[in-house]
Amino acid sequence: MSHQPVSVIGLGPMGQAMATALLRAGHPVTVWNRTPGRADGLVRAGATRAATPADAVTASALTILSLTDYEAMYAILGDDPSSFLVGRDLVNLSSDTPDASREAARWAAGHGARFLTGGIMVPAPAVGNPGAYVYYSGPGEVFAAHEPALRLIGDTRYLGADPGLAQLFYQAHLDVFLTSLSALLHATALVTAAGVPAADFLPDAMRTITDIPAMVGSGAELAAELDAGKHPGDLSTAFMMGATADHILRTSEKAGVDRELPAAVKSHYDRAIAAGHGTRNWTALYEVIRAGR
Ligand code: NDP
């Protein structure tokens, strides 16, 4: 079976990993990067170096972009890209806001190109390996046309026609990730302030994260509760959890470590209790959080 040519623009760790996965599967791959030396290894592995971004785009029906943000795409493709974008498919796997993705989809359409957005959910070494997955959104026919090649990067999760959805899901995952990382560091600072080494604490703290489904239920169970808006407080209540949030804040203040994160968490409980959710499950915080007040 012949494999369709694919171009990859942007050869940071991510773009390099994507190009490598495509090459390994037998796709002819054309690459371009602002700093040309970053293409050297891929060229040795069989990729073709494009002299210009326009050459890269016209070498393949499908061009994948892996850049710091969407501004980089505009910087690379220039002010008047219609001459080489017409009839091409762009898949932008760079991180940015959902609105930046939507704006870029309009921009690409204005230059005659079809545009799919993506959010890649694993670090570069995991690209192309089991467990890797990528959210996509945009025109379904573009996704369907290139799904076999895109599947080489990771499992594909198509979210629908709105080009902003892939970045929305990406940002929401990163919300969980970054908040969890800050929580780990804050909790460690709390313990080490008492003179205990981080090594005595962090392994169990990591276990707390992986034990979350066992403690509060699966994602599907939680989603059902949030969608129903019932929040039955038979096993835990916002009153009980809020008292714990207060203990964490006061322990942080006593230890002299940063108070912003525990104060934000306590504020969720305070506002949920003030809104009458004290005897309901902690999931009732969702009502306060999504209301934005
Ligand atoms: P890098 O920052 O290493 O690479 C970014 C790429 O963008 C490079 O090719 C760089 O070119 C190019 N670039 C940036 N600004 C410009 C510009 N103004 N003009 C031309 N080229 C530009 O990022 P990664 O490869 O790590 O990540 C790529 C994308 O994937 C990002 O959006 C990131 O958020 C996302 N991502 C990354 C993950 C990771 O673990 N690395 C995980 C999940 C998502 P040059 O080489 O010349 O600097």
Check pocket membership of 76 for ligand 1, CB cut-off 6 A. Answer: yes
Q: Which of 17, 26, 10 is nearest to 129 (CA)?
A: 17
What pLDDT, on a 0 to 100 scale, did the predictor assign at position 100?
98
Check pocket membership of 37 for ligand 1, CB cut-off 6 A. Answer: no
Domain 168-291 CATH assignment equals 1.10.287.70? no
Closest residue by CA, ligand 1 atom 29: 94
What three-state secondary structure class fits 111? Answer: coil
Check pocket membership of 125 for ligand 1, CB cut-off 6 A. Answer: no
Radius of gyration of the chain (CA): 23
Ligand 1 centroid to residue 12 C-alpha, Å: 5
Check pocket membership of 250 for ligand 1, CB cut-off 6 A. Answer: no
pLDDT in tens, the chain (293 residues): 579 999 999 999 999 999 999 999 999 999 999 999 999 999 999 999 999 999 999 999 999 999 999 999 999 998 889 999 999 999 999 999 999 999 999 999 999 999 999 999 999 999 999 999 999 999 999 999 999 999 999 999 999 999 999 999 999 999 999 999 999 999 999 999 999 999 999 999 999 999 999 999 999 999 999 999 889 888 899 999 999 999 999 999 999 999 999 999 999 999 999 999 999 999 999 999 999 98
What three-state secondary structure class fits 63? Answer: strand
Whole-complex ipTM: 0.98
CA torsion through residues 198, 200, 201, 203, sign? positive
For residue 68, how far is the Cα from the chain centroid?
13
Ligand 1 centroid to residue 14 C-alpha, Å: 7
Ligand 1 centroid to residue 65 C-alpha, Å: 9
- Cα separation of 110 and 106, whole Å? 6
What pLDDT, on a 0 to 100 scale, did the predictor assign at position 235?
87
Domain borders along the chain are 6-161, 168-291
What pLDDT, on a 0 to 100 scale, did the predictor assign at position 1?
58
CB neighbour burial string for 150-187, b if at least 16 within 10 angstroms, e if fewer: bebbbebebbeeebbbbbbbbbeeeeeeeeeeebbbbb
What pLDDT, on a 0 to 100 scale, did the predictor assign at position 230?
87
Please give the CATH number for the structural domain made up of 6-161: 3.40.50.720
- Cα separation of 6 and 57, whole Å? 9
Check pocket membership of 18 for ligand 1, CB cut-off 6 A. Answer: no
251 Rama class: left (phi>0) / alpha (psi -120 to 50) / beta: alpha
What pLDDT, on a 0 to 100 scale, did the predictor assign at position 71?
97
- Alpha helices by DSSP H, listed for 151-218, are 165-192, 202-210, 212-216
Ligand 1 atom closest to the Cα of residue 71 is: 18
- Cα separation of 165 and 150, whole Å? 17
